[in-house]
């Protein structure tokens, strides 16, 4: 009988002890709160992502409660009930945001002031979606999680890589060489143009001086004419009018000559410009062909093998001549018999 009682006692103790250990461990690991008062709040979302019952509720980074329940509501809403720890005060104009709390796919509910919400168009749209919203529920939104962000970042990286590849293809070594050549040609062209303009400017200066002197002569003539006219009535002696007419004719001739020179200069300038354009066009075409490796010059410049072959040919020829000098019999066999 004593043995039976001892067995009962031991078995009962083992069972109760194991139950206490298991229950206590479970409550401890679940962070269960026995008897603690909590405040319940609700938030409405269009979608709750991976949020699950038991996930933590965070206010300004501090764990402040848990998600109690998640259930579908009318008009396409999802209602999330949360329990907040005792004494927790909500921020002004609060909103609930669902965000991932780690790279491992864990989510949490964040309660923040509306003014502190990140300026993301989708989030703002979700928060402002108040039509038919359940009453007494905080507006809620889901922040983009790391998977979405990495997807977008991946797309951007792909586009950048594509653009970089295209740039690399378009701007290869030959393109860079051609660009350098074009810049060099343009420099030469601008230099030639500056010289031409300088020369024509000098000519124009000369023409202007001539025109000015002609105008002076004309004005002198005009003054003389005026004087002559004033004296026509009084002057009776001959020869003065004839002189005036002669001077006028001389001035007119000078003016005509100056005009002719200006015309010649303009024609010359136009011809020079046309020639210059032709020269530039031909030079550009020639340089293009040379750069593309067309023609002998192009091949000589671009195809190094040609140079090497020519060089090699000269070396061979020189060797041949030396060898011929050393031992002509190898090349000329004079047989008498």
Q: Residue 110: phi, psi to the nearest 5?
A: -110, 130
Q: Which is nearer to other proteins, 15 or 314 (CB)?
A: 15
Size of the site for other proteins (CB under 8 A): 20
Q: Which is nearer to other proteins, 8 or 122 (CB)?
A: 8
Q: Which is nearer to other proteins, 3 or 35 (CB)?
A: 3
Least Å from the CB of residue 8 to other proteins: 5
Share in percent of the chain as helix, strand, coil (round to 5): 65, 15, 20
**106 makes contact with other proteins (CB under 8 A):** yes
Q: Which is nearer to other proteins, 70 or 90 (CB)?
A: 70
**11 makes contact with other proteins (CB under 8 A):** yes
Q: Residue 239: phi, psi to the nearest 5?
A: 100, -30
Kindly provide the residue ranges of all beta strands, DSSP E only, lying in the chain, ordered along the sequence.
38-45, 56-59, 62-72, 78-85, 94-100, 107-113, 138-142
Least Å from the CB of residue 86 to other proteins: 21
Q: Which is nearer to other proteins, 25 or 274 (CB)?
A: 25
Q: Which is nearer to other proteins, 29 or 72 (CB)?
A: 29
**31 makes contact with other proteins (CB under 8 A):** yes
Least Å from the CB of residue 14 to other proteins: 5
Rounded Cα gap, residues 176 and 179, in angstroms: 5
- The stretch near other proteins (CB under 8 A) out of 16-24, 41-49, 59-67, 68-76 is 16-24
The CA dihedral of 156, 157, 162, 165, to the nearest 10 degrees, is 150
- The stretch near other proteins (CB under 8 A) out of 24-32, 191-199, 239-247, 272-280 is 24-32
Least Å from the CB of residue 103 to other proteins: 8
Question: Which residues have a Cβ under 8 Å from the Cβ of 195 and sit 6 or more positions away?
Answer: none
Rounded Cα gap, residues 287 and 183, in angstroms: 12
Least Å from the CB of residue 15 to other proteins: 5
Q: Which helix (H) or strand (E) holds 167?
A: helix 146-170
**8 makes contact with other proteins (CB under 8 A):** yes
Closest C-alpha to 50, from 115, 101, 91, 118: 101
**153 makes contact with other proteins (CB under 8 A):** no
**62 makes contact with other proteins (CB under 8 A):** no
Count of CA atoms in the C-beta half-sphere (13 A) of 323: 9
**14 makes contact with other proteins (CB under 8 A):** yes
**275 makes contact with other proteins (CB under 8 A):** no
**19 makes contact with other proteins (CB under 8 A):** yes
Closest C-alpha to 103, from 150, 54, 141, 63: 150
Closest C-alpha to 96, from 109, 83, 87: 109
> Which residue ranges make up the site for other proteins (CB under 8 A)?
3-4, 7-8, 10-11, 14-15, 17-19, 21-22, 25-26, 29-31, 102, 106
């Amino acid at each position: 009988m004593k043995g039976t009682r001892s067995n009962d006692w031991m078995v009962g103790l083992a069972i109760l002890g194991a139950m206490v250990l298991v229950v206590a461990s479970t409550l401890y690991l679940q962070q269960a709160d026995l008897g603690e008062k909590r405040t319940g709040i609700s938030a409405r979302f269009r979608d709750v992502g991976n949020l699950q019952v038991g996930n933590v509720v965070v206010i300004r980074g501090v764990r402040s409660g848990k998600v109690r329940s998640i259930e579908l509501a009318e008009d396409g809403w999802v209602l999330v009930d949360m329990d907040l720890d005792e004494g927790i005060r909500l921020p002004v104009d609060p909103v609930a945001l669902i965000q991932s709390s780690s790279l491992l796919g864990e989510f949490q509910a964040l309660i923040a002031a509306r003014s502190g919400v990140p300026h993301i168009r989708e989030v703002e749209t979700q928060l402002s979606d108040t039509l038919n919203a359940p009453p007494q529920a905080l507006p809620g939104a889901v922040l983009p999680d790391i998977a979405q962000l990495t997807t977008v970042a991946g797309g951007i990286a792909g586009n950048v890589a594509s653009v970089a590849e295209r740039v690399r293809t378009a701007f290869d070594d030959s393109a860079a060489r051609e660009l350098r050549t074009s810049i060099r040609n343009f420099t030469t062209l601008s230099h030639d143009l500056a010289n031409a303009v300088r020369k024509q400017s000098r000519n124009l200066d000369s023409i202007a001086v001539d025109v000015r002197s002609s105008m002076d002569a004309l004005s002198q003539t005009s003054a003389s004419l005026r004087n002559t006219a004033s004296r026509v009535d009084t002057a009776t002696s001959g020869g003065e009018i004839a002189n005036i007419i002669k001077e006028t004719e001389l001035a007119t001739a000078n003016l005509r000559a100056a005009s002719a020179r200006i015309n010649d200069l303009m024609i010359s300038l136009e011809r020079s410009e046309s020639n210059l354009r032709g020269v530039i066009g031909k030079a550009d075409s020639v340089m293009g062909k040379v750069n593309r490796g067309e023609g002998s010059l192009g091949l000589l410049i671009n195809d190094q093998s040609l140079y090497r072959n020519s060089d090699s040919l000269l070396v061979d020829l020189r060797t041949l001549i030396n060898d011929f000098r050393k031992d002509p019999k190898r090349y000329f066999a004079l047989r008498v018999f």
